[in-house]
Structure 1
């Protein structure tokens, strides 16, 4: 609550998320139908097209909100998938220790050496550009950082008294990890997840900019930025509106992450 920047960013982020998920249902236009009387219209507050229209008369405001919904869904689902796998992998590795920990971490190190963007592009090229494939391609490597962070925290927690007491009473290792280790990692996981979301959203935008993102009729911020970049000289609003919305969202998520990091930092208390 003392971090005013994080609170303001949280409020703005809430409004953006609300607009992306509810706005298209309330606006008179939709992302697919064309308004043939308003083709390539510049942004205006006097009509129904506040962000203007594209070259076939589709409302850019609705398309930006629809694209934001897809980008945010990719970010949240990708973070959820990578978070669950990364937490499980890191907790098991840290608690097991010894040779098991060494082997599991060497696997992580080897995966770090693989250019994940190249693998994501290869997966999208071979298997198509369906929504779930976009999430899978991005999540395939985004769990590595989470696993290393969780593993480091688990190495500290496994020597605590409450873990020794659970071990002495005969509780099985997996039960100790689930009941005692993971609940004490919630603060670290939440903070790191808030940092992972903008990274995944940005990765999806890069893939979409390269033409490897979601397919029509779905759209995303990356698709809109890529389309606007091709028409920058003739219709600059096609690039500026979705790009500014994307930047504001990423900045807000970053500020919220900073606020959560300060809130969970024991030194701040």
Structure 2
């Protein structure tokens, strides 16, 4: 559901008709991208109880949710922090995002300040949950706090992930310049991440910075040569820049390399709108 594109209401240089589909605003994906896998970012060392709770998440999330609640209400200190951690993950599995946000926030608040890396992780998870609920302002507050914790912990990898999430929120708040700064931070911290390059290209394209967008999409393509989202965006940038042949080539590669995907379907629509190539 998050990959449904909105449409740009302007005429394009190479014949694409916005009334028949136009060019999608993939920069909305920065905001609408599904929450990242929350359980893999610097996960705390599991105790035997936590390991059991985490094992139940996929098959028995309701049982894990109940057991985590009981554990949270009957323990304190680190055990309570870990109980809230599992409770938050179980809530995510059950789609209870407000509960997840509350549990992750509690985990962060009850984690000692000297454990800045762990506080950053819990804060990022709470921010993701708030983003899913649509509370963009609340998500930004949580992610800003998580970023501060990550900086204090010198956790560059986590800081890069948080920067991506902050960019999603800032796009939703229509703070595009701030979102661009967040993505520049993410690129600095994880220059070999194709998703970061793709989202950077998408946002720069939306801002009308086509030369910079082209630079970023080329970097993304080097890192992930067959990524269908990258090929689709490369074609969008090319068509806006008046390079119809390059756009055709990018979209055709998506159709051929990723058939039966929504990316291939979108690429075919754009190719159909362009019509046959001129000699």
TM-score bin (small chain): under 0.3
Choose 1 or 2 for highest CA Rg: 1
Q: TM-score, normalised by structure 2?
A: 0.24
Q: TM-score, normalised by structure 1?
A: 0.25
